[in-house]
Structure 1
Amino acid sequence: MAIAKSAAILILFFALACNANNAPIVEPVAGPDMFSHKNMARDVLFPGEKIVNVQDFGAKGDGKFDCTQAFMNAWKKVCHESSGPTRLLIPLGRFLVSSMYFNGPCSIPSPVTIQVQGTVLATTDLSDYGNGDWLIFQNHNGLKIIGGGTFDGQGKNSWQYSENCDSAADNSCARNPSSLYFSQSSNVIIQNIRTANPKGFHIFVTKCTNVRLRKLKLLAPATSPNTDGIHISHSDTVIISRNTIATGDDCISMIQGVKNIFINKLRCGPGHGISIGSLGKYPDESEVRGIRIKNCTLSGTTNGLRIKSWPDKYPGAASEISFSEIVMTDVKNPIIIDQEYECYPNCKKKPSLVKLQNIHFANVRGTTTSELAVDLRCSKLYPCQGITVRDVDLKFGLAPTTSRCINTQPLFAGLLMPPSCL
């Protein structure tokens, strides 16, 4: 009887585990914003705030000594063994560390501050990254990373192994480690920080709310593959402002489950521009909604403002998206909706199941390296709805630019170059 009961418990446990793996993702919803109406530019010590220096735990800033354990011990002291306000200090110097977790929640009052003055270097051996990413921040409510320092992913030797997981049609792709990975956290500020030469993405934000990314410099060669600057999924209320991104892939990429994203005063280029998608790649994708991109400049990018979805895949939706006050210099494919992703031209697959609506392009001006400056290729099954193109002035040398509309009837208004495709 006891054996039968134990077997039944094991079967129940196995069934629950399998069901958990197949459960849909519960999208985070932004709650109270602890940084609202506060001066983000100021860094003031809390009364009685203690400073924990990684060098006090054995870290050496010579760029050679493996400081991983010292960093972990210092973080444990700050986050889990302190009772009052405490911050982690990474002073001037070059500190080599491999993959590690900065796990919360912390026992001290929020927000927890990590002050980076020096340079943190990633180890170069990919076998060090069994965790998937380099520096992983999870389960925080109140986290600040500041200080003017640098996170150097030392990714050059790993780029030859990089796979473009976005363009892979299945789930078999293994991406290179992101430099900074944020998950299941809220009220996060990353400010006045530089990242260089990541193995994969510079910054990956997923399942987070109330995130601010400000005054960052994200730098990598134009030839570095799949080094997206800021990559966001399944997150609510992310404010990205006053950043400079020059990299080998999208400056900013947003995929399923993102909502209430505001991007302002971005300088992008080189890179692949600003992308939403690809969408419709996976079953049960969460919708994308409420994206505002304003006052940005793009220079020498291979795409400008892009929305992309897969044909012949899965349903999805994206709506309430606006691009305004955008200046471009020598941008290829300035404005593009591509619902034939990785299938164009002469796509013979079934149409995309992703519904796109209420998407607005306004006050976009500058120069392009493409004669086709506005390219709107929507799904035959679900034509794009509520698309507007207003006051767009894109020049292609001395030649006129053109526009194309497939499976959509946009509203064109104001000053237009290229002229309406209707």
Structure 2
Amino acid sequence: MQLNQNFVKNVGNGFQIGGKIIAPRKLSDWRGHDISRWLSFRNINGLIVDGNGTIDGRGVIWWKSAKDATGIPTVSCIFLASISNLHIIAPETSHNTDGIDISSSSHVQIRNCFIGTGDDCVAINSGCSNISISGVVCGPGHEEFLLSVGSLGKGGADAQVQDIRVEHCIFNGTLNGARIKTWQKSAVNLSGISFMGFRGTSLSNDAIKLSCSKSVGCTNILLDHINIKSAVRGTTVYSSCINAHGRYMDSFPKDWNHSFRLVLWLLILRSSRVFSQLINVMDYGAVGDGMTDDSQAFMKAWIVVCGARSSMPVLNVPTGRKFLLKPSQFGGPCNSPNVHFQVGGTIVGPSKLSDWRGHDISRWLSFRNVNGLIVDGNGLIDGQGAIWWKSAEEGKPRPLALGFSSCNNLKLSGLTHINSPRSHISIDSCTNITITNLHIIAPKTSPNTDGLDISSSSNVQIQDCYIGTGDDCIAINSGCNNINISGVDCGPGHGISVGSLGEGGAMAEVEDIRVENCTFNGTQNGARIKTWQESAVKLSDISFMGFRGTSLSDDAINLSCSKSVGCTNILLDHINITSAVPGEIVYSSCINAHGRCIDSIPKVDCLLP
């Protein structure tokens, strides 16, 4: 089926899938149809295809055809712009089932996807430029699960690919890691291709394979912070290259093929700069059994990392281990402009209140004055908050789990945070923050366990996170500006809130907040502004767009602003929040809120002009 421009115009350039779309289950159903593709979109600008549904191509009826060299239908998109949070799955034995194929396209971003199929996770073909790929989990599999540029130049054809950036991807038992594939007798021109921050395992010995045209070659190739090991215990992996020119930094496996120009670059660079260091906490006395206090080992490792002068020192918390930490503060400033705190294992807080004696109980883990900090991985941070939640009823103070103060150019991604005593993550007095692909979870009955608390911070991007706790999914507090939140799945909890602000008549200011394309599942509210009525709180330029979901309370949209100052330039656009209780009706309420509403359920007719 081909959907053209006229069709999508009628539905507003949005194709939202909540259910399941399936292909024909018999080959005979394809008779009389074009078998080059099953579903396709053509000549549609501004198209959005999203939702939480499933598209099942029923490819098993075709996979035998691959061996018979007959046609196989594919799903193909041309001139892509932004791809995020997809799950693409097929058996590892399925033939030629690439996850994403890109051809003749530019300015494409692929972020935070899981792809495990029978061939390339992502294949970049001729005519592509300015492609950025990050946060892709690729594999496992026994066929080809990798990120590939090519195969290009078959039959001597010309081809050109340039400005490809692939970073922070994970490979689980793929055939290779980074690969460039060209036919050797072709005139294929490849340039400006970067592979950065790769880690994982390879099924073949040839973990990095850069095969370029013998006549033209590849230029300006960069391999940086690569760590690919063999999926087979005790086996060594290698790299291989044909006419590839560029440089590499801190790569495993290293390339010792002296015909490869990367080695020459490496020798030159070693004379002028210091490379990255990997600091494993196990090497500094950590036990990782979940019972021994590993706090001092972590602090020793941090001192080395923060004092390192390499381009990006890495503190590694290895997988398969559980590390008990008492309250710990990781302080800066550090010598390197970038510091990487990589969590593959589990970090747990004390399981007894007595273990907190003599410590600051305002926070468990904190980073202060560390610029260029990256905290990521596929590990778990468990605050063991259940021992504290009863204290909330008694009005006693409780610690937040993870705090960042005065940390500029901060990046958080990939981790799962559970069961904080109070707020899970606090951001205070920081600038230029990117938060992606976090999972933050606590019981809906846990008190004051906000997912993300942001205060006195600016230029914050929060994307593609799942947050379900006992309080606000995200709370935006005083002194914040230029906050962008998108793709957050929220619930249980109290929704996404601006505030609470102005307690005791305190002055506060928040501006330029944009929250869009978020989903609410049984939250107390959806969009909420909370201020104390007698305060002098100034709120302006706050947008809630593309909300959908369900609310437990009747007051699905609550915009409560200062009676004396009020909120200005509020926008509600394409809101659809219904009651989580069948048959119940939800409403909106406002106090001194000025702005406009476009296409909202419930109606927001309480906004002032």
Residue aligning to 1:106: 334
Give the partner amino acid of 1:255: N
From 586, 597, 602, the equivalent of 1:389 is 597
Residue 53 in 1 paired to residue 293 in 2? no
Q: Distance in 1 between matches of 2:338 and 2:301?
A: 17
Residue pairs, 1:223-302, within 5 angstroms: 223-282=445-504, 285-302=507-524
Higher mean C-alpha deviation, range 322-331 or range 297-306: 322-331
Corresponding residue to 1:75 among 302, 318, 322: 302
Offset of residue 69 of structure 1? 0.5
- Cα 1:62–1:107 shift into 2, 3 Å: same
Q: Does 1:153 align with 2:347?
A: no
What is the TM-score with the length of structure 1 in the denominator? 0.75
Q: 1:322 to 1:174 in 2, by over 3 A?
A: farther
Question: Any idea what SS the aligned residue of 1:180 has?
Answer: strand
Question: How far did residue 404 of structure 1 move?
Answer: 6.6
Q: Report the AA paired with residue 574 of structure 2.
A: N
TM-score under structure 2 normalisation? 0.53
Matched, 1:94 2:322: yes
CA contact (8 A) 1:309 1:354 kept: no
> Which piece of structure 1 moves more, 64-73 or 75-84?
75-84
Q: In the alignment, is residue 133 of structure 1 matched against residue 133 of structure 2?
A: no
**Aligned match for 1:179, one of 378, 398, 401:** 401
Distance 1:239 1:141, change over 3 A: same
Give the letter aligned to residue 579 of structure 2.
Answer: T
Q: Which residue number corresponds to residue 31 of structure 1?
A: none
The amino acid of 1:315's aligned partner reads A
Bigger shift: residues 251-260 or 281-290: 281-290
Residue 384 of structure 2 aligns to a residue in which SS? coil
How far the C-alpha of 1:282 sits from its partner, in A, is 5.0
Equivalent AA in structure 1 for residue 599 of structure 2: D
2:563 maps to 1:364: no
Counterpart for residue 343 of structure 1:
none
For each residue in 1:330-360, what CA deviation from the matched residue of structure 2 results, as whole angstroms up to 9, or x when unmatched?
A: 4432211124xxxxxxxxxxx7334211111
Q: In structure 2, what is the equivalent of residue 212 of structure 1?
A: 434
Q: Distance between the aligned counterparts of 2:361 and 2:374, measured in 1?
A: 23
Q: Per-residue displacement from partner, 1:16-48 (whole Å, max 9, x unpaired)?
A: xxxxxxxxxxxxxxxxxxxxx975532321533
Query: Which residue, out of 391, 409, 417, partners 2:608?
Result: 409
Q: How far apart are residue 376 of structure 1 and its match?
A: 2.7
Once residues 133 and 396 of structure 2 are traced to their aligned partners in structure 1, the CA distance between those partners, rounded to angstroms, is 40
* Separation (CA, whole Å) in 2 of partners of 1:58 and 1:222: 37
Uncovered stretches (5+) of structure 2, i.e. residues with no partner: 1-130, 136-166, 169-196, 198-224, 226-248, 251-274
Q: Specify whether residues 403 and 322 from structure 1 end up closer, same or farther in structure 2 by C-alpha distance, changes over 3 A only.
A: closer
Q: Secondary structure at the match of 2:570?
A: strand
1:315 aligns with 536
Match of 1:326 among 530, 533, 547: 547
* Cα distance in structure 1, aligned partners of 2:325 and 2:341: 16
Which gives a bigger RCO, structure 1 or 2 (Cα 8 Å, sep 6+)? 1
Query: Match of 1:205, SS?
Result: strand
- 1:316 Cα shift? 1.4
More displaced stretch, 201-210 vs 365-374: 365-374
8 Å contact kept, 1:280–1:353 = no
Fraction of identical pairs, as percent: 37
Supply the distance in 2 between the matched residues of 1:76 and 1:334 (Cα, whole angstroms). Answer: 48
CA distance in 2, matches of 1:354, 1:282: 15
Distance verdict in 2 for CA 1:111–1:85, change over 3 Å: closer
Cα gap change, 1:262 to 1:298, in 2 (>3 Å): same
> Compared with structure 1, are the counterparts of its residues 187 and 174 closer, same or farther at alpha carbon in structure 2 (3 Å cutoff)?
farther
* Length, aligned pairs only: 339
Distance in 2 between residues matched to 1:150 and 1:205, nearest whole Å: 19
**Does 1:62 find its partner at 2:289?**
yes
Structure 1 ranges of 4+ moved more than 4 A: 37-40, 81-84, 369-372
Contact kept? 1:163, 1:176, Cα under 8 Å: no
